[in-house]
Structure 1
């Protein structure tokens, strides 16, 4: 007689409740940012522009450029949050029969042979630190070049940069352009608010600004400066990564090719590196719309790696022909 251990209904419900609580908690950083933005809108539009700025022309100009910067910032932020992550295609998934062979394999060499045999027609240039095929045992798939497993998302992600709690999403191939634009427009928003609020902050400091709204202006200036300082270093760092055609993960550990580590393996020159992320149409470079080049699976290599890749492939083909 077989006994099947079943979890009590109450425990199952508790497990489900915990799962949804954790998912809800992941939105807290996003809600925090949106709360700050909503308050800054009230402080800037109502307390600064309508109740403090005297000149009608200044009010109009302030509000026009403020809403432009805010709209671009929120558009890029929305795209970063709600763009689906790049998932590994089915052709990289290990079939059940091959997975059973992996489990039955008696040595790492046998496992390596099984994975190499399965992946021989896949366009992979990267290998792991041991020179073997990059394999994810959690997803049971061969990892495409530049893909990594995200423990938060629970799956392998194409050209993964990092998982960002402030957007509750993985920053990867599909939304990396949006993420950089989000950083850039958020920085622009903070700088614009800080610079336009600066004369009124000075007036408050000198005691020339009266009314309860002056405290909103005071905190508005400090919050804009604080967030601006934190954003400028992050934005500049990712601009550097784009220029070098690297991800954050590749900056910590260079991608490994058949010839060894090469931090410049995917670098095509600064302009081409930029176009790989932002596309080849200058009219939409700075709009949060999809324009990145490629499919997130295959990436062009620099000239050195191209030559090495081709020469090693031709050598392997000759060896197989001789063995045959």
Structure 2
């Protein structure tokens, strides 16, 4: 006899189990054959026999034929959809991150067309004036685009391997369930590294995402999803994280941007007045010249403020993050902990050789993992004495058991 195309009453499928394909009986085992079809019957608890018990065992071991797709495939499909959606969102975020850069590029390309063609080649009548304008403009334009390119495509530098937890240490750290042992493991590893900064509570700075002990002035960028050496900030206008490897290029980009806008505004202003007074014919170039002056002045005001702020940071040897959050050393908070003096502070960004200060090539001293500090030079130079003493808080005055470390470990992201 066949039910749904399957032979029943054989060794492969006993007769008492065929009812599962129909699902019409109370107990999952008892069927009676009547003619050519299966006729289910209800079993009372008193007449329930071995077949019923076997049927219950078989049904418990084997899922119902009407529900396998829901129990086995739907969770996988949900996970697949979630992964696809997450991947699509990440892809969209990467694409949208380039929108500010695209806006800047389009504005620069239009300014090039408006200045070179509409102003110099169409509006300016004197050949000598045209040549002078174009020579100085292109000299500034080359350095402006060069520094912008370097700011965008110079990758942020990450901590080297010695600051990362090894595979064995990572396994040991993650498998350890006692927090105090985990803390002591990180304290022991931090003692082997040139790390002098701490968190606000005096803890070792540890990144639980990158699994590394952070070097001095290193921070985790949530946008780039990595730790960046001497991180200053993440700039959407260059779609890059500004740090040790490209801070010089970013500062040069601001300087040449200010110079670019100032040069355009000063050379266009006289022709703007002529168009305003009606001394020049009202042609298509008039609108390009008018908007060129307006855009140049608008960008100049915003850029000169930003450039001035970063010049102040360089003069104090600070990053943007350190300006908002005072760095904490092993001896306590010190807002001027990296201040070495005006000249040395500038050299920390641009290098010792002044001939490279205006050229966008890497000349910053050091490797980005350790930096000269004010507290290390106090014994040699009394002018670098601390301006404000650090007062211990109550947490540092607590009594610790003998043999335990008073240095806590706190994870930061």
Say whether the fold is shared (TM-score over 0.5): yes
CA deviation after TM superposition for structure 1 residue 205, in Å: 1.9
Give the 5 Å matches for 1:1-324: 6-7=76-77, 12-103=83-174, 104-107=176-179, 109-209=180-280, 210-303=282-375
**Is the helix fraction higher in 1 or 2?**
1
The answer on whether the counterparts of 1:81 and 1:168 sit within 8 Å (CA) in structure 2 is yes
Question: Can you give the 5+ residue segments of structure 2 that lack an aligned partner in the other structure?
Answer: 1-60, 62-71, 381-402, 404-413
CA deviation after TM superposition for structure 1 residue 18, in Å: 2.9
CA deviation after TM superposition for structure 1 residue 66, in Å: 0.5
The answer on whether the counterparts of 1:112 and 1:133 sit within 8 Å (CA) in structure 2 is no
Distance 1:78 1:140, change over 3 A: same
Distance (whole Å) between structure 2 residues aligned to residue 287 and residue 40 of structure 1? 23
SS at match of 1:134: strand
SS at match of 2:216: coil
Question: Can you give the 5+ residue segments of structure 1 that lack an aligned partner in the other structure?
Answer: 309-319
Distance (whole Å) between structure 2 residues aligned to residue 303 and residue 246 of structure 1? 15
SS at match of 1:129: coil
SS at match of 1:51: helix
SS at match of 2:123: coil
The answer on whether the counterparts of 1:53 and 1:59 sit within 8 Å (CA) in structure 2 is yes
Distance (whole Å) between structure 2 residues aligned to residue 11 and residue 252 of structure 1? 38
SS at match of 1:170: strand
Distance (whole Å) between structure 2 residues aligned to residue 146 and residue 243 of structure 1? 17
Distance (whole Å) between structure 1 residues aligned to residue 379 and residue 190 of structure 2? 21
Alignment deviations for residues 193-241 of structure 1 (CA, whole Å, 9 cap, x no partner): 0000000111122222321210100000000000000000100110111
CA deviation after TM superposition for structure 1 residue 19, in Å: 2.3
Alignment deviations for residues 243-282 of structure 1 (CA, whole Å, 9 cap, x no partner): 1000000000111001111111111111011011101111
CA deviation after TM superposition for structure 1 residue 93, in Å: 1.0
Which structure has the bigger radius of gyration? Answer: 2
CA deviation after TM superposition for structure 1 residue 302, in Å: 1.5
CA deviation after TM superposition for structure 1 residue 24, in Å: 1.0
Determine the structure 2 residue equivalent to 1:313.
Answer: none
SS at match of 1:239: helix
Distance (whole Å) between structure 1 residues aligned to residue 81 and residue 199 of structure 2? 44
TM-score in terms of structure 1 length: 0.90
**What is the root-mean-square deviation of aligned Cα atoms in Å?**
2.2
TM-score in terms of structure 2 length: 0.71
Q: Name the structure, 1 or 2, with higher relative contact order (CA <8 Å, separation 6+).
A: 1
CA deviation after TM superposition for structure 1 residue 105, in Å: 4.1
Distance (whole Å) between structure 2 residues aligned to residue 260 and residue 89 of structure 1? 26
Distance 1:12 1:105, change over 3 A: closer
Distance (whole Å) between structure 1 residues aligned to residue 274 and residue 317 of structure 2? 46
Distance (whole Å) between structure 1 residues aligned to residue 277 and residue 86 of structure 2? 58
Alignment deviations for residues 63-122 of structure 1 (CA, whole Å, 9 cap, x no partner): 000001111000000000000101111111123443344443433x43321111012110
Distance (whole Å) between structure 1 residues aligned to residue 185 and residue 379 of structure 2? 27
Determine the structure 2 residue equivalent to 1:312.
Answer: none
CA deviation after TM superposition for structure 1 residue 16, in Å: 3.2
Distance (whole Å) between structure 1 residues aligned to residue 82 and residue 217 of structure 2? 40
